[in-house]
Amino acid sequence: MTSYMKYYETLYLIRPDLEVEDYKGVIEKYHKIIEANNGVIINVDEWGKRSLAYNVERFRDGFYVLVRFCGEPDLPDKLLKDFRLDESVLKYIVVKLKDSVDPEELKQGDTSSASEANKKEEVKAKDGSK
């Protein structure tokens, strides 16, 4: 039996003055919140440290993390509550991408699209084109 869930994406900005283990701990904290609330993480994309267009709480840069996940309708509110209380997170947003999806289908699709993108990059690199 297939269980359908809502499909979300969250992008959050972690303060740049954290140690590596603290930075990883923040990411792990939000993974645990998603999983503890019966959510399914589809994809995590750590963009790394990037410059900001303007100062945010006196910082000119920060670590960006993009997470795509499936969950029940109350999960984004739980994440937002924790984001608001967490001093390690400078900015955050949660967006609903789709109303009803099968998480297993998304996981399979995400893996295949990632491998296709890697193959395209390899082809470009081999023939010397950019």
Domains in the chain with CATH codes: 5-102 (3.30.70.60)
- Alpha carbon distance 130, 124 (integer Å): 6
pLDDT of residue 100: 86
- The answer to whether 49 and 73 are in contact (CB under 8 A) is no
121 Cβ partners below 8 Å, 6+ apart? Answer: none
- Alpha carbon distance 36, 31 (integer Å): 8
pLDDT of residue 127: 45
Virtual torsion, Cα 101, 91, 83, 38, nearest 10 deg: 10
pTM for the full predicted model: 0.77
- Alpha carbon distance 130, 11 (integer Å): 29
Beta partners for residue 95, in sequence order = 9
Query: Residue 29 corresponds to which amino acid?
Result: K
**43-62 tens-digit pLDDT:** 999 999 999 999 999 999 99
**95-121 tens-digit pLDDT:** 999 888 887 887 777 644 444 444 444
